[in-house]
Amino acid sequence: MILHLTNSAISGAAAMLADAQRAAGHDAACLQFGALKPEMMLFSPAAIPVNLSRPAGREILTTMLARATVVHVHNWLPRQIENLVLEHLAATGAQLVWQLHQGQREHPVYLADAPELKFDKKLVVAHGFARTYDDFIVVPNCLYRPSIPSLPHDAASEGGSLRVLYSPSSRTGTRWGAKRDEAFDKLIGFMERAPFLSLTLAEGINPIELLALRTRHDVTIDEVVTGGFHLVSYEGLFTGNVVINNADILSTDIFCSALQTAEPPPFLQAGSDTLFDLLYELDHDRARLERQKAAGRAYFEKYMNWRRIVSIYDDIYAA
């Protein structure tokens, strides 16, 4: 059994990977700890919530640990859970894997805070912050949303507004993970008044509903503050949007390495000072807009589909 353990929502990444692994025929599950607000649980609708203050919660964890051949930890775990993991690893000899997503701190937290946890594999999501952990194996996230069908995406009408979606997220305070700043927030306000744009700001929305909403837009804006990018860019490619972020060459090279391809993703690059001009160009060249949308969807299908991503993790576990 592949057992994923997470104490944070992290956009549902851990639960989506577990779901995809089950779809591929693996015995896999994701346990979600922490007192998350109900709306945060929406990020991981397929995760199993576990409350260790209740006997049932402890039984769920210990039973699954006893079955696990791979224990896959995402970001970090509270000390109480770490102790249970250590106890069962000693008894079962399961492989222990640690995957760092976007953390609030820029150092490997377990290496500093829990040296007794001996990880067999150390993974880091292959976006901008992978450069901070150069001895980790870079991996892609797995976008698995089977409830979203592959609907035909309407071509933007010649006379209609350019449909742009931005889903605001929090500032993390990390060098390669910051998603917003004051200059960008001011730019968004300016874009809301632009006559050629139909800008949707989607905040506090169920992530599956958000993904469905994204299929009705032409452009997805990920963060343009640093040289990294996030799961939003995956979603944009999946739904046939033009994806705009500010991914630099190192971020895209790391991502290609994780996907095991030399072909870079068809992102369009922009910063806060160039984003508005790029949107204006796309609005006035609808042929380019449609080519870019088609290229993004094709790239996702070729390199980022869930079956391919599951096989990448299979190879890592087996190595």
Let me know whether 190 and 263 are in one domain: yes
Is residue 279 domain-resident? yes
Is residue 256 domain-resident? yes
Assess whether pLDDT exceeds 60 at residue 40. Answer: no
Q: Looking at 119, 149, 170, which one is the last position of a domain?
A: 119
Let me know whether 200 and 84 are in one domain: no
8 A C-beta contact, residue 103 and residue 109: yes
Assess whether pLDDT exceeds 60 at residue 22. Answer: yes
Percent of the chain with pLDDT over 90: 52
Residue 175: pLDDT band (50, 70, 90) is very low
Assess whether pLDDT exceeds 90 at residue 49. Answer: no
CATH code: domain of residue 63: 3.40.50.1220
d(CA 131, CA 173): 16
Name the residue range of residue 247's domain. Answer: 162-304
Is residue 173 domain-resident? yes
Let me know whether 68 and 170 are in one domain: no
Q: Looking at 119, 151, 175, which one is the last position of a domain?
A: 119
8 A C-beta contact, residue 208 and residue 148: yes
Mean pLDDT (the chain) is 85
Assess whether pLDDT exceeds 70 at residue 71. Answer: yes
Assess whether pLDDT exceeds 60 at residue 170. Answer: no
d(CA 34, CA 80): 12
Residue 75: pLDDT band (50, 70, 90) is confident
Residues 99-152 have pLDDT tens digits of 988 654 444 455 445 556 788 999 998 876 666 677 789 999 999 988 877 655
Give the residue, 200 or 45, on which the prediction is more confident. Answer: 200
Q: Which residues contact 212 (CB under 8 A, 6 or more apart)?
A: 148
CATH code: domain of residue 166: 3.40.50.2000
Q: Looking at 96, 119, 142, which one is the last position of a domain?
A: 119
Q: What is the count of structural domains for the chain?
A: 2
Is residue 130 domain-resident? no
Is residue 157 domain-resident? no
Contacts by residues 21-27 (CB-CB < 8 Å, ≥ 24 positions apart):
21/310, 21/313, 23/144, 23/146, 23/306, 23/310, 24/306, 24/307, 24/310, 24/311, 26/2, 26/310, 27/1, 27/2, 27/67
Q: Residue range 251-269: average pLDDT? A: 95
Is residue 104 domain-resident? yes
What is the amino acid identity at position 152?
Answer: P
Residues 272-285 have pLDDT tens digits of 889 999 999 999 99
Let me know whether 173 and 84 are in one domain: no
Backbone phi and psi for residue 148, each to the nearest 5 degrees, phi listed first? -100, 110
Q: In what order do the strands lie in the sheet with 219-221?
A: 197-201, 162-166, 219-221, 242-245, 268-269
Let me know whether 177 and 238 are in one domain: yes
Least confidently predicted of 89-98, 221-230, 257-266: 221-230
- Most trustworthy range by pLDDT among 46-50, 121-125, 172-176: 121-125
Tokens 């912050």 sit at which residue? 129
Q: Residue range 18-43: average pLDDT? A: 80
